[in-house]
Amino acid sequence: MSTKRISDAMEKALNDQMTREAFQAQVYLSYASWAEVNSFSGIANFLYKHMNEEREHMFKILKYINDRGGETKIEAIGAPPENPSDIKDCLEKILQHEVDNSAEIDKLVNQAHEEKDWATFSFTQWFVKEQIEEESLINGLLDKYTLASEQKEGNANYYELDKDLNKAPQSAEIPREEKL
Ligand code: OFO
């Protein structure tokens, strides 16, 4: 057992965020399954892969809590929301989930700052950048959806969109620190 280097309040906040990341994974899992049964295998593939990303985020927080001498508590995960009505709804909903999660990450950053817990402040910066990338990624997919759906040439466009999403990366490039 190592010396506890995070406050009880921070331990609780990180635990809550860990559970939230698990919930995010459930959302992607459930939407992926919806896409698969509706014959959008490319979108399903993208969403399944992203489910794994969210699980990695969950695990990253779990490790951090334990490494700082805290104790992770595995809590129940809420049920995912209803299935989307169509692809656009699916993309809009996952974007909103990401925006909501970004707001929760911001709260963690704020708490770390208030507690002068610079280790956690530094740890949470990775998540801030990750959320920027994810929001940018989903916004990009929504743009592709708009392009594909506005050409009004029938289902061929949706087929191309589906192939595109199948190959979509799990993160978007954003400017990182300048190399001096
Ligand atoms: Fe965990 O990155 Fe999205 O939510």
Q: What is the pLDDT of residues 94-148, one digit of tens each?
A: 999 999 999 999 999 999 999 999 999 999 999 999 999 999 999 999 988 887 7
Residue 174 lies in a domain: no
In a domain, 35, yes or no: yes
Per residue in 62-86, pLDDT (tens digit) is 999 999 999 999 999 999 999 999 9
Whether 133 is in a domain gets the answer yes
Q: What is the CATH number of the domain that holds 101?
A: 1.20.1260.10
72 part of a folded domain: yes
Q: Atom 4 in ligand 1: which residue has the minimum CA distance?
A: 98
Give yes or no for a contact between 91 and 138, defined as CB atoms under 8 angstroms apart: yes
For ligand 1, whether the C-beta of 162 sits within 6 Å is no
Neighbours of 178 (CB within 10 A): 5
- pTM assigned to the model: 0.88
Nearest residue (by CA) to ligand 1, atom 1, is 54
Instruction: Work out the number of other CB atoms within 10 angstroms of the CB of residue 77.
Output: 16
Report the number of distinct structural domains present in the chain: 1
Query: Would residue 168 count as lying in a domain?
Result: no
- Assess if residue 134 is contained within a domain: yes
Q: Answer whether residue 162 is part of any domain.
A: no
How many residues make up the chain in this entry? 180
Share of the chain above pLDDT 70, in %: 91
Residue-number span of the structural domain to which 133 is assigned: 8-151
Q: Is residue 47 part of a domain?
A: yes
Question: Directed axis angle between helix 41-67 and helix 118-150, to 10°?
Answer: 170
Tens of pLDDT along 3-42?
999 999 999 999 999 999 999 999 999 999 999 999 999 9
Burial category of 76 from C-beta neighbours within 10 Å (exposed 0-12, middle 13-18, buried 19 and up): exposed
